[in-house]
Amino acid sequence: MVQPYKFDPKAVVWVANRDTPISHRNGVLRIQDDGKLVVRDGNNSLVWSSNVTGSSNNAAAKLLDTGNFVLSRDDSIGDLNRALWQSFNEPTDTFLPKMRVPVSFKRGEYRAYRSWKSPDDPSPRNYSMGVDPNGGQQLVIWDNNKRRWRSGQWNQQFFTGDPSTRNNASPLLGFGISQPDENGTMYITYAASNRDLIRFQITWEGRLKHSRWNAGKKKWDYLHSDPHPANECDLYNFCGNYSTCDQFDSRKCVCLEGFRPKSQDQWDARNWSGGCVRKIELQCLSTDDGTSGGKGDLDACRRHCLENCSCTAYAFIPGIQCMIWTGDLVDLQRFQHGGSLEFFYRLHHSELDHGRKDFQSYYSYSFSGGGGLLGGNSVARMEIQVETKSSFIKALLQG
């Protein structure tokens, strides 16, 4: 069973039996005596079921104007809080306005969307999209189990790793990820800021495609794709660890200050996947776990990092608070238009000018890496992508 969209009958936004296609045209959709909504083939074999029960004597299935296909009792049609089942809770490859898609890490649910196998075959392909299972409020596209792209952290206003989302005209304006509820469930939501009809689709090519319905021309206008086809820096960790990617720089990948290519030969051949390593290893002697003091401002965040040898970098971000990196810095991208955030990473003091033990200004980047969220809910590891203040990044002294 395929579900077309009201505005465009050719636009398929949901498929019930994508794993078990019917080879002929004799399929039937019906509500069984036990209240389940099912699809059966011409031999009356079950090919799909809603897996919920109710009373068929007073149950009905209705396709709403929003594109949501809902199974309800007769006395609660239109009340989604009382729905027995709804397609918006089990999406395939498309996200529509007014969706509120649950993802629960406790139940192993975080990949809410799966791409089609091809433009004409809705069978699931290897590309999927969902929420970071390591505790971060960010959208991720996977190629099987390998990360392909991510949006950066949601800071309650925009995704920090996608500069376009802070634009008032961005189609991603209105997107959001809720905080986990008492059951550990988060919700991916989208509330359009105007009357435009926006469609988000994880395509068979592994991209999050944004489209807007053009009522005059009766067609979908393409807006944007993530990762962008013309920007290799959008691909996850394209330049390897401790290296920044800049699509407008002829060098493409550049090691962070204080780091060198892990393999100079590969680097010269423009194979940057090996990333960079430190020129001088850190010699941290502190064993304090860094839990003393508050972490509610930049200074407290800095102290927490300095007291903890496992801390490789930190940033204090409005809407997220103190971010601590405890692993390699990965997926670093430089944006042309900086924001108002500062990012600090740890270096041996001899790497700075004249070996001075203070903070040294460097460059403007967007950064991410393994870390923990301090202030609010604590997690063991997560990743973030942030923009830094134009024309400077600061290095955290070590040694």
- pLDDT tens string, the chain, 399 residues long: the values are 555 555 676 789 999 999 898 887 788 999 988 888 999 998 899 999 998 876 667 888 999 888 899 999 877 887 888 899 999 988 999 998 888 877 777 766 677 899 999 999 999 999 999 887 765 678 899 999 999 998 887 777 777 777 666 665 555 567 777 777 887 787 888 777 667 788 899 999 999 998 888 888 988 999 889 999 999 999 999 999 999 898 888 999 999 988 999 999 999 999 999 999 999 888 776 544 433 334 578 888 888 888 888 888 888 877 778 888 888 888 888 876 655 567 788 887 777 654 444 333 333 334 444 433 333 222 222 233 333 322 233 444 443
Per-residue pLDDT, 356? 44
> Do 134 and 170 belong to one domain?
yes
**Domain final residue pick, 164, 198, 230:** 230
Q: Which of 387, 383, 380 is nearest to 343 (CA)?
A: 387
Contact 23, 125 (CB under 8 A): no
> Do 191 and 269 belong to one domain?
no
Q: Which of 263, 393, 260, 241 is nearest to 332 (CA)?
A: 241
H or E stretch at 219: strand 219-226
Contact 58, 72 (CB under 8 A): no
Answer yes or no: is 235 within a domain: no
**Which residues are bridge partners to 212 per DSSP?**
198, 221
Contact 317, 296 (CB under 8 A): no
> Do 244 and 383 belong to one domain?
yes
Tell me the three state secondary structure of residue 94: strand
Residue 151 backbone class (left: φ over 0; alpha: ψ -120 to 50; beta: rest) = alpha
Q: Which of 8, 42, 9, 16 is nearest to 28 (CA)?
A: 42
Answer yes or no: is 331 within a domain: yes
Per-residue pLDDT, 169? 53
- Residues 6+ positions from 198 with CB-CB distance below 8 Å: 97, 171, 190, 192, 210, 211, 212, 213
Contact 187, 101 (CB under 8 A): yes
Contact 94, 88 (CB under 8 A): no
Contact 258, 347 (CB under 8 A): yes
> Do 215 and 265 belong to one domain?
no
The residue whose two tokens read 């299972």 is 133
> Do 300 and 282 belong to one domain?
yes
Answer yes or no: is 342 within a domain: yes
Per-residue pLDDT, 205? 96
Number of domains, the chain: 3
Answer yes or no: is 54 within a domain: yes
In whole angstroms, what is the distance from residue 286 CA to residue 399 CA? 10
Residue 144 backbone class (left: φ over 0; alpha: ψ -120 to 50; beta: rest) = left
> Do 174 and 267 belong to one domain?
no
CATH code (residue 30) = 2.90.10
> Do 137 and 226 belong to one domain?
yes
Answer yes or no: is 376 within a domain: yes
Token pair listed for 363: 């460059």
Tell me the three state secondary structure of residue 152: coil
Residue 204 belongs to what domain range? Answer: 91-230
> Do 368 and 248 belong to one domain?
yes
> What's at 266, amino acid-wise?
Q
> Do 124 and 65 belong to one domain?
no
The model carries a pTM of 0.81
Per-residue pLDDT, 24? 78
**Domain final residue pick, 89, 115, 148:** 89
Answer yes or no: is 45 within a domain: yes
In whole angstroms, what is the distance from residue 380 CA to residue 150 CA? 19
Answer yes or no: is 271 within a domain: yes
**Domain final residue pick, 230, 258, 274:** 230
> What's at 89, amino acid-wise?
N
* DSSP letter string, 260-283: EES-HHHHHTT--TT-EEESS---
> What's at 31, amino acid-wise?
I
* DSSP letter string, 11-50: -EEEES-TTS--SSS--EEEE-TTS-EEEE-TT--EEEE-
> Do 244 and 393 belong to one domain?
yes
Answer yes or no: is 259 within a domain: yes
128 C-beta neighbours (distance < 10 Å), count: 22
> Do 18 and 83 belong to one domain?
yes
> Do 316 and 283 belong to one domain?
yes
- Residues 6+ positions from 258 with CB-CB distance below 8 Å: 278, 279, 280, 347, 348, 351, 395
